[in-house]
């Protein structure tokens, strides 16, 4: 999986590179409400997240564009939760409802999200060893 920076280094225009390449992000969460641990900006992101407690949260970016893809992998021993942006939903659930992410090394410790429209995110659960 190419990063946006690698593609730019190969001569791909920056705006194109940001659309087709991933931007790696590391985040350590310490709060449990929607809006905390918020990801920012449009484009594809590959997120390594460390959850301090099982109640800690990551929030999908409110300024993502339709078609943006976010992969979140839990690299900690604690489970956590993922929120849509305020007013949004994941897989057609209630607005603002969170989705659980399992601890590292267990089934469901990674999610892949794609923004479908202004408020809806489609989420696919994965497992990363």
CA distance 21 to 5: 8
Q: What total number of domains does the chain contain?
A: 1
pTM of the model: 0.84
pLDDT in the model for residue 11: 92
Residue 42 lies in a domain: yes
Give buried/exposed letters for 29-62 (b at 16+ CB in 10 A, else e): beebebeebbbeebbbbbbbbbbeebebbbbbbe
Q: In the β-sheet with 57-59, what is the strand arrangement from edge to edge? A: 57-59, 80-83, 99-101
Residue 71 lies in a domain: yes
Residue 18 lies in a domain: no
Provide the CATH number for the domain around residue 59: 2.60.120
14 or 98, which is more confident? 98
Average pLDDT, the chain: 88
Residue 14 lies in a domain: no
Q: Which residues contact 1 (CB under 8 A, 6 or more apart)?
A: 22, 46
Residue 10 lies in a domain: no
Residue 96, classified by CB atoms within 10 Å of its CB into exposed (0-12), middle (13-18) or buried (19+), is middle
Residue 104 lies in a domain: yes
Residue 64 structural domain: 28-126
pLDDT tens sequence across 119-128: 999 999 987 7
Q: Which residues contact 94 (CB under 8 A, 6 or more apart)?
A: none
Residue 88 lies in a domain: yes
Residue 21 lies in a domain: no
pLDDT in the model for residue 1: 65
pLDDT tens sequence across 83-120: 999 999 999 999 999 999 999 877 778 999 999 999 99
């Amino acid at each position: 999986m190419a990063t946006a920076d690698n593609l730019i280094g190969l001569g791909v225009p920056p705006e194109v590179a940001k659309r087709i390449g991933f931007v790696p992000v590391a985040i350590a969460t310490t709060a449990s409400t929607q809006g905390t641990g918020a990801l920012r900006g449009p484009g594809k992101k590959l997120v390594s997240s460390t959850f301090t407690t099982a109640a800690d949260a990551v929030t999908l970016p409110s300024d993502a564009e339709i078609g943006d893809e976010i992969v979140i992998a839990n690299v900690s021993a604690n489970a956590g939760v993922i929120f849509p942006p305020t007013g949004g939903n994941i897989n057609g659930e209630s607005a603002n409802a969170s989705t659980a992410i399992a601890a590292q090394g267990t089934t469901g410790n990674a999610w892949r999200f794609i923004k479908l429209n202004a408020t809806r995110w489609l989420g696919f659960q994965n497992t990363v060893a």
